[in-house]
Amino acid sequence: MASVLSFYLSYLLLLSLSVCVLVCVCVWSSSWRGGFAWDGSALQFNWHPVLMVSGLLLLYGNGAVLYRVPLTWGQNKLPWKLLHAGLMLLALIFSIVGLCAVFDFHNKNKTPNLYSLHSWIGIAATALFALQPLLQEENE
C-alpha cells in the first residue's frame, strides 16, 4: 500500500511541476515575447516552445503512464489503451505543429533550418516518436 501511495504522490508532484512549466512557458511567450500569431513573425515562433512543452512534456508524459497506474490494474485495459493512444496522437500532432511553426518562421525570415544541435535532436526525437508504433512489439 505504501508503494501505491508513494507512486501517486510522486505522480501528482511531477504532474503539478509539468503544469507549472507549461504555465510559465505560456506566460513567458505571451507577456515577455509579445504573444502569438501565425504570420511568419517572431510571434509565430512563440508557438514552438508552447506546443513542444504541452505535447512532449504534458501529453506524452501522462499518456506514457496512463494505463500503468495502480487505479487501472483491476479494470478492462481497452478504454485506458484508447485514451493512451489518443493522448499520444495529440502529443504527436502538437509536436508536428510546433515544428511547422518554427520551420515556417525560419523559411519566411530566410533563416537556415536545422543549424543547431537543438534542432537536430528535436527532429530526431519527433521522428522516433512518430515511428514508435511501428517499432514496438505488442506486449499485452
Torsion, Cα 34 92 7 19, to 10 degrees, reads: 10
What is the predicted pLDDT for the residue at 137? Answer: 67
What is the predicted pLDDT for the residue at 101? Answer: 97
pLDDT tens, N- to C-terminus, the chain (140 residues): 788 889 889 999 999 999 999 999 999 999 999 999 999 999 999 999 999 999 999 999 999 988 778 777 788 888 888 999 999 999 999 999 999 999 999 999 999 999 999 999 999 999 999 998 888 766 55
Residue 6, class by beta-carbon neighbours within 10 Å (0-12 exposed, 13-18 middle, 19+ buried)?
exposed
Nearest CA-CA partner of 20 in 46, 53, 52: 53
Contacts of 60 by beta carbon, 8 Å cutoff, 6+ apart? 87, 88, 91, 129
HSE-CB at 77 with a 13 A cutoff on CA atoms is 9
For the chain, the domains span: 2-134
Q: Which fold has domain 2-134?
A: Four Helix Bundle (Hemerythrin (Met), subunit A) (1.20.120)
